[in-house]
A and B are shown apart, each in its own frame.
Chain A
C-alpha cells in the first residue's frame, strides 16, 4: 500500500515467501539440513564477514565479535531446519546476530572502541578513503574526526536505534529487511532511524561549530 502524499510504503514484514530465497541458496540450505559439512563450510564462508562485521559494529570488541559470530553460526546450524524461507537467508542470519548481541549486551556493558584500530593505521594500510568504493561523494565532510565523533555519539544511542542505523547505513539493508530483522513494523524502523539521525545530526552541527 502506498500513501499518495508521502509515498510511504506500508508493508507487512512477515509477508515474505520462499521466493525471497534464491534457488542456489535453497539448495545450500537443504544440504546443510542434511548434515553436509561442505555445505556448512560454504555457508560460513559466504556470511562470516557480514556476521562478524555486524557483531563488531554492535559490540565494538573484536574478540567479542568473533565469539558472537561462532555462537551465531552454531545457532544457525541448530535451527536451520526450522527456516521456512520467510526471508532471505542473509536477513534471517542478521536477525540471529541482533538477538544474540542484545542478549549479550544485557550481561556485558560495551567497551566501545577500546581495541579499535585508529583511522591513521587504517589509512596507512588501505590507502585514502577516497579510493574506497563505498565512500559517498561528500567524503570531504567525513573526516576522521567527524567519523570518530559520530561513532561516539552512536555509542550513546539506545540499542534499538543504533541497530537500525547500523543495519541501514553500514549493512545497507532495506527498511523491509530491517523490520524483519528487528521483528518490528516498518514504521517503527523509520521512526528509530529518524530519532537516531536527529541525535547524530545534532552532534554533527556541534562539530561544525
Chain B
C-alpha cells in the first residue's frame, strides 16, 4: 500500500525527483501524489522547463563556429606553456646551475656580501641614532625644552616662585649658622642638583668653616627630602634655579623694664603692699627665615607665611 503524501511533503521532493536524486520508495509515493495533484505536477513541470531552458541557452552560447579551433589552439598553447614551465622550473634550473660549479661560489658569495653590508649599515645606523648625553643632538634637545628638569629657568617677574609645602619646614642642625644652597626645584617640586655654597668671611675673604661636617651632611639630607610647589609660568609648572638661604639666628632681648602695674585709685594691691615689680626678660631663641626675592618677583603667599616660627628654609633666588 502506498502511503499518503500531502502537498507539503511532495513539494520537498519535487526538485530531487527532477534531479534524479530521489529514492525509489519516495519516487513511487511522489508519483502517486502527482496523479491527482495538478498543482504539484505543474511545479514539477516548471522545474523541468527551467532545466531545459538553461541547457538550451548554454548550448547556444557555446555554439560558436570557431570554438573547436580555439580549443585545439588552446591545447597546443597549453602544452607549450607546460613544457616551458617544466624547463624553467626551479629543480631544473638548480640542476643546471650546479652542473657548473664555477658560478656556484660567486652566486653564494654575492648574496652573502650583500647581507653583511646590510648588517654593517644597520649597526652603523643604530649607533649613530642612539643619542648620547653629551652629544650635540642631546644638547639641542635640552635647549629646545626650556623649563624642563634638564634645562631649568631663572626666576623672573613673570613667574610664580616655588613655595615650600606645608609640613616641610627644616630644622637646621647647627646654632647660629647660615647656609646657602644652590639647587634646582623641578616641575614635580623636588630639589635636585643641590650644592652647598661655601660661606665667605667678610673681612678675610676666605671661606669660613663655621659649620661642622656633620651639620652640613644633615643639612643636605634635609634639603634632599624637602618638597616645594613648583614655580609656575602661565599656570604650567617649570623647573627653576634657586639659591636657598638657610639661617638660624638667636635673638636675645635686653632687660626690659616690665610694664608696671598701675593701680587705680582706691584699689587694693594684690599680694600685699611693697611687692616689687617684676622685670621681665624674655629670651628669644628662634630660627628666623628670610627670603630674598628679586625685584618684582611675586611672592607666592603673604609674608607672614614665610616668617612663621620654626620655619627655617626659604629659597633665595639670584
Pair A40/B82 contact, Cβ less than 8 Å: yes
A154 touches B82 (CB 8 A): no
A97 at the interface (CB under 8 A from B): no
- Taken together as a complex, chains A and B put the C-alpha atoms of A190 and B242 apart, in Å, by 87
* A118: chain B residues within 8 A (beta carbon): 60
The answer to whether A21 has its CB under 8 Å from any CB of chain B is no
Measured in the bound complex, the distance between the Cα atoms of B74 and A62 in whole Å is: 12
Q: Nearest chain B CB to A47's CB is how many angstroms away?
A: 11
Q: Name A135's contact: one of B9, B43, B56 (CB within 8 Å).
A: B56
- The answer to whether A146 touches B53 (Cβ under 8 A) is yes
Q: Bound complex: CA of A194 vs CA of B71, how far in Å? A: 34
B contacts with A, residue count (CB < 8 A): 46
- A27 contacts chain B at the CB level, 8 A cutoff: no
A103 within 8 A of B: no
Interface of B is mostly: helix
Determine the distance from Cα of A117 to Cα of B64 in the docked complex, in whole angstroms: 6
Knowing A7-B13, A44-B79, A138-B49 touch, does A147 contact B21 (C-beta < 8 A)? Answer: no
The answer to whether A122 touches B60, judged by C-beta atoms less than 8 angstroms apart, is: yes
CB distance B21 to A56 under 8 Å? no
Closest chain-A Cβ to B5's Cβ sits at a distance in Å of 10
Task: Tell which of B45, B48, B65, B77 has the most Cβ of chain A within 10 Å.
Answer: B48
Is A126 interfacial (CB 8 A cutoff)? yes
Encode A161-190 as 1/0 by CB contact (under 8 A) with B. Answer: 000011011100011000000000000001
Which A residues lie within 8 Å of B77 (CB)?
70
| B 27-49 to A, binary, CB cutoff 8 A, 1 in contact else 0 | 00000000000000001011111
Chain B residues positioned under 8 Å from A126 (CB to CB)? 59, 63
Interface presence of B83 (CB below 8 A)? yes
Q: Which of B61-100 contact A (CB under 8 A)?
A: 61-65, 67, 70-71, 74-75, 77-79, 81-83, 85-86
Hey, which bits of chain A sit against chain B, CB under 8 A? Answer: 2, 5-9, 35, 37, 40-41, 44-45, 48-49, 52-53, 56-57, 60, 62, 66, 69-70, 73-74, 77, 113, 116-119, 121-122, 125-126, 129, 132, 134-136, 138-139, 141-142, 144, 146-148, 150-151, 154, 165-166, 168-170, 174-175, 190, 193-194, 197, 200-201, 204-205
Task: Please list 24 pairs of residues, one from A and one from B, whose beta carbons are closer than 8 Å in the complex, sorted by A's number.
Answer: A2-B23, A40-B82, A48-B71, A49-B71, A53-B58, A70-B74, A70-B78, A74-B81, A117-B64, A119-B57, A134-B55, A135-B56, A141-B49, A141-B52, A144-B60, A146-B49, A147-B53, A154-B54, A166-B54, A169-B51, A170-B58, A190-B16, A193-B19, A197-B47
